[in-house]
């Protein structure tokens, strides 16, 4: 072929286009900012919950153009992990250690037994094992963020994305129910304000849901509930490390084995240590909190757009039964632990 023909062919060849992130990314970040603006006007509801609900409503009321797909996927994965890293800035090891050895043991046992117990219940109910694991992590550790983190370790290629969005939807539904049920049950049982706060922090799924329940309980319950919940969040690191080791063993012949400790988990731990041992200015902590909430809200909106009502109906009653039993298991373990530790 003549040189001129080669030049013409190269000039007329269609370049390989990279996925456009801008449309989907702009949408998720816009919704995240709007959710943060509206959250203070909706008592007991956080920006993350508003973002998830907005995503679910949009997914079931309209169809997004394909051009939004790459940016939505980027938000659900990359922004989520960045948000989890910044979540570490909320944790001060001194505050968590101040709970005392008995309560810290309760937190470890609640997360461990809650996770293993939920997986075992999933087997009895014949729920798909991957979905059982995601529900277990979400309900035992820190809600939707833990679901997505676990999915990032066990399903990095999103081959079973429907499990992730189902588990996120169940976290929203059952965690929201806990906002009212925990304070009401604490009142019936005659628990003290402190024990009620400890119970809320040790049993409720999302941080935002814990804050809402602590506000209903009143007094000093909110502060202690948040500290206990953050102690559960700290368990995200060892649980994800265990899952990563498990995946490496299961995929020993696979060249794409996950790292021993996922990078975002290391980043999370670095932020915890930074917050605990470096006197960070309030402006830095404030900016970090806003950015973390924005990133997680954007990710939750993106995940919410994958939740279709038809899909939830299609999964059947067993995942809902598992979520209900897991919630009951967490509440029971936490209550027994708080009473015995006291």
Torsion sign (Cα): 306, 308, 314, 317: positive
| Residue 245 to residue 153: CA distance in whole angstroms | 10
Torsion sign (Cα): 227, 240, 284, 31: negative
Give the H or E element holding residue 144: helix 144-154
Residue the block writes with tokens 């404030």: 286
Q: Which pLDDT does position 252 carry in this prediction?
A: 46
Instruction: Output the tens digit of pLDDT for each of the chain's 342 residues.
Output: 444 444 444 444 444 455 688 899 999 999 999 999 998 888 767 787 788 889 889 988 888 888 998 898 898 888 888 888 888 888 889 989 999 999 999 999 999 999 999 999 999 999 999 999 999 999 999 888 889 888 888 877 767 778 888 898 898 889 888 988 999 999 999 999 999 999 999 999 887 788 778 878 877 888 899 889 989 988 988 998 888 888 777 764 444 555 666 787 788 889 989 999 999 999 999 999 899 889 988 988 887 887 777 777 777 889 999 999 999 999 999 999 999 987
140, burial (CB in 10 Å: exposed 0-12, middle 13-18, buried 19+): buried
Q: Which pLDDT does position 114 carry in this prediction?
A: 95
Question: Is pTM beyond 0.85 here?
Answer: no
CA 171 to chain centre: 9
| Residue 135 to residue 195: CA distance in whole angstroms | 26
Q: Which phi-psi region, left, alpha or beta, contains residue 313 (left: φ > 0; alpha: ψ -120 to 50)? A: alpha
Q: Where are the domains of the chain?
A: 22-341
Q: Which pLDDT does position 311 carry in this prediction?
A: 73
| Residue 168 to residue 306: CA distance in whole angstroms | 10
| Residue 296 to residue 84: CA distance in whole angstroms | 8
As a dihedral over the C-alpha atoms of residue 76, residue 81, residue 83, residue 85, rounded to 10 degrees, the angle is 180
Residue the block writes with tokens 């041992």: 277
191, burial (CB in 10 Å: exposed 0-12, middle 13-18, buried 19+): buried
Both structure tokens of 202: 């040790």
Torsion sign (Cα): 101, 103, 105, 111: negative
Reduced to 3 states (helix: H, G, I; strand: E, B; else coil), residue 16 is coil
| Residue 259 to residue 54: CA distance in whole angstroms | 34
């Amino acid at each position: 072929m003549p040189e001129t023909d080669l030049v013409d062919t190269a000039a007329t060849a269609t370049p390989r286009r990279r996925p456009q992130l801008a449309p989907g990314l702009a949408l998720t970040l816009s919704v995240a900012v709007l959710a943060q603006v509206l959250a203070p006007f909706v008592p007991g509801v956080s920006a993350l919950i508003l973002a998830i609900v907005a995503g679910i409503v949009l997914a079931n009321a309209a169809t997004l153009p394909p051009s939004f797909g790459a940016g939505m996927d980027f938000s659900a994965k990359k922004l989520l992990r960045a948000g989890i890293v910044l979540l570490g800035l909320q944790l001060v090891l001194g505050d968590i250690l101040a709970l005392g050895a008995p309560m810290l043991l309760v937190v470890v046992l609640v997360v461990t037994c809650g996770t293993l117990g939920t997986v075992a219940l999933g087997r009895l109910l014949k729920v798909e094992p991957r979905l059982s694991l995601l529900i277990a992590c979400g309900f035992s550790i820190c809600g939707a963020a833990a679901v997505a983190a676990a999915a990032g370790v066990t399903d990095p290629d999103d081959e079973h994305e429907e499990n992730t969005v189902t588990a996120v939807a169940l976290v929203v539904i059952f965690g929201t129910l806990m906002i009212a049920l925990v304070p009401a049950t604490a009142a019936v049982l005659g628990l003290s304000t402190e024990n009620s706060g400890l119970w809320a922090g040790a049993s409720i799924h999302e941080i935002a849901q814990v804050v809402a329940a602590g506000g209903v309980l009143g007094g000093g319950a909110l502060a202690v509930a948040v500290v206990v919940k953050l102690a559960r969040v700290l368990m995200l690191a060892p649980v994800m490390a265990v899952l990563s080791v498990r995946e490496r063993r299961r995929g020993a012949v696979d060249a794409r084995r996950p790292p021993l400790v996922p990078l975002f988990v290391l980043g999370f731990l670095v932020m915890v240590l930074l917050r605990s041992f470096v006197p960070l200015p309030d402006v830095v902590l404030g900016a970090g909190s806003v950015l973390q909430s924005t990133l997680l809200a954007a990710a939750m909106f993106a995940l919410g757009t994958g939740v279709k009502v038809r899909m939830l109906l299609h999964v059947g009653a067993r995942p809902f039964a598992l979520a209900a039993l897991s919630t009951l298991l967490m509440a029971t373990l936490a209550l027994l632990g708080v009473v015995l530790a006291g």
